[in-house]
Amino acid sequence: MVHSPSLVQGIYSKRSDFFSHEDILKHVTVNVFGIPKWSWKKFAPMIPALNTPLLNHLLREPSLSTLSDITVKNLEENTANLISFMPGLIDQSEWERSSGATVSKTKGGRSAMEVSLMPLLRDFIGMQALPAVFGTDLYRNSTGLFEDLWAFDNAFLILMAGLPRWVPIPKLAKAHAARARLHALLVRMHAAMEDDAAGRSVSSEWANIDDISDCLKARQAVYREHSLPLQVRAASDFAILWATMANSNFVAFWLNIRILAIPDLVEAIRKEIATFVKVRQPSDGVFGMEEAPRLEIDHKSLTTFCPLLKACYIESLRLDSAPWSVKKVAKPFTLSEKQEDFVGVHADEKPHTYRFEAGTYADVPIGIHMTDPKYFPNPEKFIPDRHIKKEGDGKESVEWGSVRPYGGGKTICKGRLFAEREIMACTAALLTLWEFEPVDEKGWKVPDHVRSAGVAKPDKDIRVRISKRRVV
């Protein structure tokens, strides 16, 4: 169990040949994402080539900005329609329906909608980010994409344990059925991509095949080169679909509810982001009705020049994500702790040296470290200022320190920069256009955690009233 920061850094900085990843990758891809066992020998050598598009398009410009720009454009167009103020399900958006939205009034008597905050934000953000990677046709051609994705995600840890399908656990059976439907949807998408790449006519349901991201198209080229069957391609890209949706959506929930629970913090962030989130109210409505306000979001500046918002983002990741990295040692090596690992009451302890033998496992419980009072005083409290550093000229900068929610080394999450821009832009847009108040008369209460594969889930429903904020 590797815990101290210097040892963690030592593990992440080792060359990849010091570790064997195949056993762990096979376990996850077969048991969780459903790669057929019979395809593993052909699929495994392709993994480095399939990871290259993720590096090139999710971490490097200009592709990173292209993906971010699409997501932010969707936020600019749709955040003003977060709630409809309509009582009928047929008139509500997809995210409203999943949140159990009902017409309500604020404590001050203004028009509002009462919703469950987590499913509202989870599905709203998913709808804005999904087209950036998978194009606009995937959701339209599905029969409940998000419903199936969350049913799968709810059983992720059970699938990870390798329990067979016949074990009588209801959410396990639901996850298998949901995964099968999503695989079938992605098979259809890959069949259309194959037709397009081969110069054949594409089915009308995939008329917008060109707006699938360059990242997926680059992976498609690898699949074609190796003549990989469509069902294997679908299972492989199902992992990308899950990774794109399942963690950042829940981070956004935690970040927003933690900010909303501190009224002074909400106003401080609104003041900080005002320069980079512009609101324009169209002057001429249709048939005398006022049009929704228009947003212009400078997402690059939000992540660069808004230290308070970014510190809140880091602090929420520290508290609400609990990543766990497992590496199988292939070649023996030795690592030594550093004296700076020992702080506070542990300052008199002496560093130790450890030898890692081939065949053993180096487990890095990053989530445990991020709530260790030895490194984070009052670890259970949401204190964004702990990540803000005052410069000599009075300016503020943000430090990640030993907060490593995305892992490290060769296996670090490839989508971390895209997720950061997506979550910060969405939070800024929501706080700019909308007011939130808790339905509970006792006020805001941040829920406890339910363990998950990555970012925690809330242990209970949080109902809120959302009303328009007058900003122009």
pLDDT at 287: 55
Residues sharing a CB contact under 8 Å with residue 303, sequence separation 6 or more, in sequence order: 310, 420, 421, 424
Whether residue 345 lies inside any domain: the answer is no
pLDDT at 345: 57
Tokens linked to 8? 């963690």
The three-point CA angle 306-365-130 to 5° equals 50
pLDDT at 252: 96
Cα gap 173→163, rounded to integer Å: 11
pLDDT at 325: 84
Domain housing 93: 32-324+365-468
pLDDT at 351: 86
Whether residue 77 lies inside any domain: the answer is yes
Cα gap 224→211, rounded to integer Å: 19
Burial state string for 52-65 with b = 16 or more CB within 10 A and e = fewer than 16 = ebbeebbbeeebbb
Whether residue 353 lies inside any domain: the answer is no
Closest CA to 43 of 252, 300, 228: 228
* Backbone φ and ψ of 8, nearest 5°: -60, -45
Instruction: Please provide the size of the chain in residues.
Output: 472
pLDDT at 1: 87
Residue 325, strand partner residues: 364
Say how many domains are in the chain. 1
Encode the chain (472 residues) as per-residue pLDDT tens digits. Answer: 888 888 998 999 999 889 988 888 999 999 999 999 999 999 999 999 999 999 999 889 999 999 999 999 999 999 999 999 999 999 999 999 999 999 999 999 999 999 999 999 999 999 999 999 999 999 999 999 999 999 999 999 999 998 888 999 999 999 999 999 999 999 999 999 999 999 999 999 999 999 999 999 999 999 999 999 999 999 999 999 999 998 899 999 999 999 999 999 999 999 999 999 999 887 665 555 677 888 999 999 999 999 999 999 999 999 999 888 888 999 999 999 898 887 765 677 888 899 999 999 999 888 888 999 988 999 999 999 999 998 877 789 999 998 998 887 777 888 999 999 999 999 999 999 999 999 999 999 999 999 888 899 999 999 999 999 987 5
Positive or negative CA dihedral for 209, 213, 216, 220?
positive
Whether residue 177 lies inside any domain: the answer is yes
Residues sharing a CB contact under 8 Å with residue 317, sequence separation 6 or more, in sequence order: 251, 403, 405
Q: Assign residue 443 the CATH number of its domain.
A: 1.10.630.10
Whether residue 460 lies inside any domain: the answer is yes
Whether residue 54 lies inside any domain: the answer is yes
Whether residue 254 lies inside any domain: the answer is yes
Tokens linked to 447? 């829920």
Closest CA to 311 of 365, 271, 265: 265
Cα gap 127→322, rounded to integer Å: 25
DSSP code at position 166:
T
Angle at which helix 117-134 crosses helix 416-433, to 10 degrees, equals 130
Closest CA to 32 of 141, 252, 182: 182
Whether residue 222 lies inside any domain: the answer is yes
